[in-house]
Amino acid sequence: MTHPIAQRTTSEWQQLDAAHHIHPFSDMGALNRLGSRVITRAQGVYLWDSDGNKIIDGMAGLWCVNVGYGRQELADAAYRQMLELPYYNTFFKTTHPPIIELSKLLSEIAPPGFEHFFYCNSGSEGNDTTLRVVYQYWAAMGKPGKKYVISRKNGYHGSTMAGATLGGMDYMHEQMPSKVEHIVHINQPYWFGEGGTLTPEAFGRQCAAELEQKILELGADNVAAFIGEPFQGAGGVIFPPESYWPEIQRICRQYDVLLCADEVIGGFGRTGEWFAHQHFGFEPDTMTLAKGLTSGYIPMGAVAIHKRIAQPLIDCGDFNHGLTYSGHPVAAAVAMANLRILRDGGVVAQVKTDTGPYFQQSLRQALADNPLVGEIAGQGLVAGMQLTADKASRKRFANGGEIGLKCRDYCFKNNLIMRATGDRMLLSPPLVMTRSEIDELVDKAKHCLALTAKDLGMM
């Protein structure tokens, strides 16, 4: 079989890329002057670039390649499904076996009560869908006045208009002259940066109390839902204090406000639980899913709807929402192959009992002597490392983002993918990573963080 993609030199690819391709979240002028890194293949937890460098992927792509690269089972599932039924819609009184089987499998994997699933192509579309579900639910319940959705500053919910409005990233809001209406934000539960002199527990309760204040300010009859990532991913792998989620749940229930968990990063085993809200011990009404649903092999997102929300929706007539590719059969077949590896291959269980605790412990041991690392947040195979000017007083750098980028440059040079978000360094490797691969990942992270600390005269 001839290769469908022309083989070229790195500089040819870079020139063509600069000539024709606009990258997401990039300063294209600067990138085109520098030239993009060209990734050409991957296997397991490793990537190779067009110069032959072997790179360890500490980010599972963009937090999504949970089963690692090069899984034959997923390729076979796509191939077979493409020949059998590559596409059909599920709009007009029609369905197909892959989406039926996937929905059944998801209902087995999801916590009790999550028996219904609506499909889309991405996390952003999933959160758009979540808003539609929430509004339709309240209309069905005879409370159409419940319109406001409360989310958090520095939360990330995607890049569509609704996703970006829900998110609390100022730099995204600045590029949006108009936003989706009825979305308001409260502060994030980021103790290291914003907790002041409070204990983490007291700060967690204070942040949750902001939700209650906002509901009272808007009037409970006007508030439809609260949405949050169980732990903030793109915002810096921020783990809220333990007191936070139980209080949020109590407040949502007290004021009849739906609790929507954005599980796009946390879902499908990242923390060692199937879904991150299970780690934090709360019970959402909806879950937004994407990324690990197909391990990124093919785009797919979904909204899992608890039966207490789904039933009124089912009973209330037309739901006027859908996408050409809602329930795409090839994506569904790939998702099933992926979920079977995660479940029947014991991958999620292994993260919980073995590789997750090993990774967390190794990282803490390796970085204990580095004064630049002020906090390590994480569980399972996800971690956020706070860069700090002074550990004891939790003093942050005035130009923290620059220091994060400095560290990331060292990672580039050392063939490690570790992400920088402002002054936090992030790791979220494939869930199939072995102990020896974790050793390599942690060694490289330690080395790059030490080089950064030395640059700053701290080591």
Instruction: Say how far apart CA 301 and CA 446 lie, in whole Å.
Output: 35
- CA-CA distance, 419 to 439, in Å (whole number)? 18
What's the Rg (C-alpha) of the chain?
22
Query: Of the two residues 157 and 446, which places its CB atom closer to ligand PMP in the complex?
Result: 157
Number of residue whose CB is nearest ligand PMP: 123
Of residues 120 through 149, those in contact with ligand PMP by CB under 6 A are: 122-124, 127
* Structure-block tokens of residue 340: 């079977």
The residue among 81 and 428 lying less far from ligand PMP, judged by its C-beta, is: 428
Cβ-based nearer residue to ligand PMP, 366 or 377: 377
Q: Identify whether the C-beta of residue 332 lies closer than 8 Å to the C-beta of residue 338.
A: no
Interface segment toward ligand PMP; rule CB under 6 A; list 152-160, 183-191, 210-218, 339-347: 152-160
DSSP assignment letter at 174? T
- Give the type of residue at 354: D
To ligand PMP, the closest distance from the beta carbon of 221 in angstroms equals 28
Quickly tell me which residue has 């490797």 as its tokens. 429
Minimum separation from the CB atom of position 395 to ligand PMP (A): 28
CB of 294 to ligand PMP, least distance (A): 11
Q: Whose Cβ is closer to ligand PMP: residue 117's or residue 358's?
A: 117
CA distance 425 to 421: 6
Q: Is 264:300 a contact under the CB 8 Å cutoff? A: no
Q: Given the complex with ligand PMP, which of 234 and 411 has the nearer CB atom?
A: 234
Q: Contacting ligand PMP (CB under 6 A), which of 57, 212, 229, 437?
A: 229
Of 249 and 288, the one with the shorter C-beta distance to ligand PMP is: 288
CB of 129 to ligand PMP, least distance (A): 11
Site for ligand PMP in 158-217 (CB under 6 A): 158
Determine the Cα–Cα distance for residues 207 and 318; give it in Å rounded to an integer.
38
Tokens coding 8: 């070229």
| Binding residues with ligand PMP: total (CB under 6 A) | 14
Half-sphere exposure of 247 (CA within 13 A, CB side): 19
Give 122 or 388: the residue with its C-beta nearer to ligand PMP. Answer: 122
Among 156, 190, 192, 297, binds ligand PMP (CB under 6 A): 156
Least CB distance to ligand PMP at residue 311 (A): 26
Minimum distance between the CB of residue 304 and ligand PMP, rounded to whole angstroms? 14
Q: Which residues pair with 114 in a beta bridge?
A: 306
Sign of the four-CA dihedral 314, 320, 322, 324? positive
Cβ at position 167, least distance to ligand PMP in Å = 8
Buried/exposed code over 270-292 (b: 16+ C-beta within 10 A; e: otherwise): bbbbbbbbbbbebbbbbbbbbbb
Q: Using CA atoms, how far apart are residues 419 and 422, in angstroms rounded to an integer?
A: 10
Binding flags for ligand PMP, 87-126, as an x/- string (CB under 6 A): -----------------------------------xxx--
Query: Please, which residue, 278 or 434, has the CB nearer to ligand PMP?
Result: 278
Token pair of 250 as six digits: 């109590």
CB of 23 to ligand PMP, least distance (A): 14
Distance CA(153)–CA(207), nearest Å, equals 11
Exactly one of 71, 157, 214, 424 binds ligand PMP (CB under 6 A); that residue is 157
Tell which positions 256-315 bind ligand PMP, by CB under 6 A.
Answer: 262, 264-265, 290
CA 348 to chain centre: 16
Task: Round to whole Å and give the CA distance between 60 and 267.
Answer: 14
Q: Which residues bind ligand PMP (CB under 6 A)?
A: 122-124, 127, 156-158, 229, 233-234, 262, 264-265, 290
